[in-house]
Amino acid sequence: MADVFILGPRSELESLSIDDSPEDAGYCLSAGPIDRESRAVLYAQLSGLFIDDALVHEQYDHAIGDEGPYLFGLSDEMRDLIADIDDDQNEVIVGDWLMAEPMARHELELVDLSQFLFDLSHFCQLSRQSPEIGVFILSEG
């Protein structure tokens, strides 16, 4: 299963079970092949942290089942950094992101990754406008 970003209230996600569809808990955005290691590169770019430290922005919330998947909350700091990405910055950020390992192994097109970051930025903007709504990541690990 590809990791999924979920925009929704934490209260809805607390009761998410292994049999539920993430769409039942909020709006979803598939991360496709962009795994945690790949997202850490983006977080490092935006925050100035080392890649190994950047996953602090995905905060463990709880396991959905005994062996996953796992729910992580995106930190408010990273939510705001992503929400502030404008169209001009998007292309530059994506270009740098694509050049870094591990992104190069995914063989993603610039236009596809730009659209993903654009959509994620809008998720983050909506979350910032409505404090009861968070940005979460459902991940296998």
Could you report the per-residue pLDDT of 28-52, keeping only the tens digit for each?
Answer: 999 999 999 999 999 999 999 999 9
Amino acid at 15: S
pLDDT at position 107 is 87
Q: Find all residues with CB under 8 Å of 14, minimum gap 6, and list them.
A: 62
In terms of C-beta density within 10 A (0-12 exposed, 13-18 middle, 19 or more buried), how is residue 8 classed?
Answer: buried
| pTM listed for this prediction | 0.94
Q: What integer is the mean pLDDT of 83-97?
A: 95
Q: At what angle do helices 36-47 and 87-99 cross, to 10 degrees?
A: 130
> Is the predicted pLDDT of residue 140 greater than 90, yes or no?
no
Q: Where are the domains of the chain?
A: 4-139
